[in-house]
Structure formats: structure tokens, C-alpha cells
Amino acid sequence: MTDSTENIYAKSLKSFFEEVALLSRFNIRFLKEFLKPPYEFKEIIRQCYAMGYKSLPLIGITGFIVGLVLTIQSQPTLAQFGAESWLPAMVGVSIIREMGPVITALIFAGKVGSGIGAELASMNVTEQIDAMEVSGTNPFKYLVITRVIACTLMLPLLVIAGDAISLYGGYIGVNIKSDVNMHLYLNKIFNKLEFSDILPAFFKTFFFGYGVGIIACFKGYQSNRGTEGVGEAANSAVVMGSLSVFVLDMIAVQLTSLFYTY
């Protein structure tokens, strides 16, 4: 390994730890500002509408396709073992426990995370954030706190809607080659579901939403490379937000498995 290669690795490692340190400071600042009044309730509601309601069509289409494709792909395999009757339960548990929350969070990170990163970065470039500070407004509380809260609140609701639409997609998939009414289909699903399946999958979506929101705001708010930084902030917000979803999901799965063990 040459000295130049070692220098590149050393700089990359240093840049990574600097990024982690800055993000940690940003989180601490968020927690401090979050607890102090005044609270921008009108802006929080506006952001909830923009992130939740306007993301619902994309989440719904994705969820329907996921449920339909998962059912169609699983049906032949289960039919080989004579376990076709288990198809609704398998699809329901898979969607509610893992696929629904993770896929919805990834779509959310792509749509909302990139929008937040680009919006705050462009405000930084055009010095709107500086103008807010001069006018006596706290830009961090107005721009960051409201968006992170909206992300944290809206993603769980989108996951519930996405799961419901995915299950309907699964119902359509089951009825392509057989005839199962909705009542029997839902009975087969909910007879196999327990609170230990639903509650951890629901609660971890709050952390997904917080992770996507805080990273997107961090990337946009800290952008200082001019117009070039706008695209970079949007891109890195999506990449890091999606990665945070996988990391948080891995931690949640490990904690849940420890809970089951004890």
C-alpha cells in the first residue's frame, strides 16, 4: 500500500468521524431547542401536510405493488409444499413486521429527505437563514425543529396506510389463482399476528422518521458550498437517511430478539 493510498484512507476516516461529531452536536442542539418555547405549531402542521398527505399516493402505489408481487412470487413455492393456505398469513406477517416499515421509510427518505436537504441548502446559499437571524427569528427552531417533528409523526401514519394498502394488494394477488373472500383473508392474517409483531414494528418507525428528518436537516442546514452544495445536500440526505433506516432497523431487530430471548 502506497503512502498516497494511506493518506486517502486516513482523510476518509477523519472526514467520517468529523461528520459523526457534527451530526451528534446537531442532535444535541435539536434536543435543547426542542424543549424551549415558543413552539411553531402552524409550521409543524404545514410540514405534516406537505410530508404526510402529499407522500401518500407514492406510498400507496408502492405498497400495493409490494403486496401484489410478494403474493404472486410466494404462491408457487408454497403450492409445491401444499401450504398454499398459509399464504395470507405469511404475506401479512412479512409486510407488517419488516417489509412495510422499511420500504415505506426508504420511499420517505427518497422523497422527503431529498426535498428537505435541497430546500434548506438553497436557503443557506441565498442567505435566507442569515436574514432570519437578523430579523430576530430563530431559524433552527422554525426550519429544523418543525421538519424533524413532522417527519417523526408522519412516517408511522404513512406506514400504517402503506401496510393496509399492501395487504389489499396481497388480497388481489391471492385471488388471481384462487377465490378467497376478504373476511377469510383477514382472519388468516390476524389469527397469526400478535402484539409482539405489531408494536415493535410500529414503534421503530418513529425512530426511522427522526433519523431521516434529522439527517436531511443536518445536510441542508450545514451546506456551505454554494449552488453545488444544494445537489450534494439532497443526494447525501437520501443516501445517509436510507442507510440510517437500515442501521436503526438492525438495532431494533436485535433488541426485539433479546426481548424474546428473555
CA distance readout (Å), 177 to 158, 195, 213, 235: 30, 31, 42, 42
pTM above 0.75, yes or no: yes
* Helices of type H across 36-113: 41-51, 56-80, 87-94, 100-108
pLDDT tens, residue by residue, 157-173 = 999 999 999 999 999 99
Residue 146 forms part of a structural domain: yes
DSSP string, 111-152: IIIHHHHHHHHHHHHTTHHHHHHHTT--HIIIIIIHHHHHHH
Half-sphere exposure of 156 (CA within 13 A, CB side): 15
**What pLDDT, on a 0 to 100 scale, did the predictor assign at position 190?**
87
Residue 227 forms part of a structural domain: yes
> What domain count does the chain have?
1
Please choose, from the candidates 114, 52, 148, the residue with its C-alpha nearest in 3D space to the C-alpha of residue 241.
114
Residue 95 forms part of a structural domain: yes
**What pLDDT, on a 0 to 100 scale, did the predictor assign at position 2?**
58
Could you tell me if 222 and 22 are in contact, meaning their C-beta atoms sit under 8 angstroms apart?
yes
**What pLDDT, on a 0 to 100 scale, did the predictor assign at position 260?**
60
What are the residue ranges in the chain where pLDDT is below 70? Answer: 1-6, 225, 259-262
pLDDT tens, residue by residue, 183-198 = 888 898 888 888 878 8
Residue 247 forms part of a structural domain: yes
Could you tell me if 108 and 155 are in contact, meaning their C-beta atoms sit under 8 angstroms apart?
yes
Measured torsion, CA atoms of residues 220, 209, 107, 125, in degrees rounded to the nearest 10: -10
Residue 78 forms part of a structural domain: yes
Determine the structural domain holding residue 215 and report its residue range: 39-261
**What pLDDT, on a 0 to 100 scale, did the predictor assign at position 22?**
87
Sign of CA dihedral 236, 238, 241, 243: negative
For 193-236, give the secondary structure using H, E and C.
CCHHHHHHHHHHHHHHHHHHHHHHHHHHHCCCCHHHHHHHHHHH
Residue 6 forms part of a structural domain: no
Instruction: In whole angstroms, give the CA distance from residue 71 to residue 69.
Output: 5
Residue 201 forms part of a structural domain: yes
Residue 231 forms part of a structural domain: yes
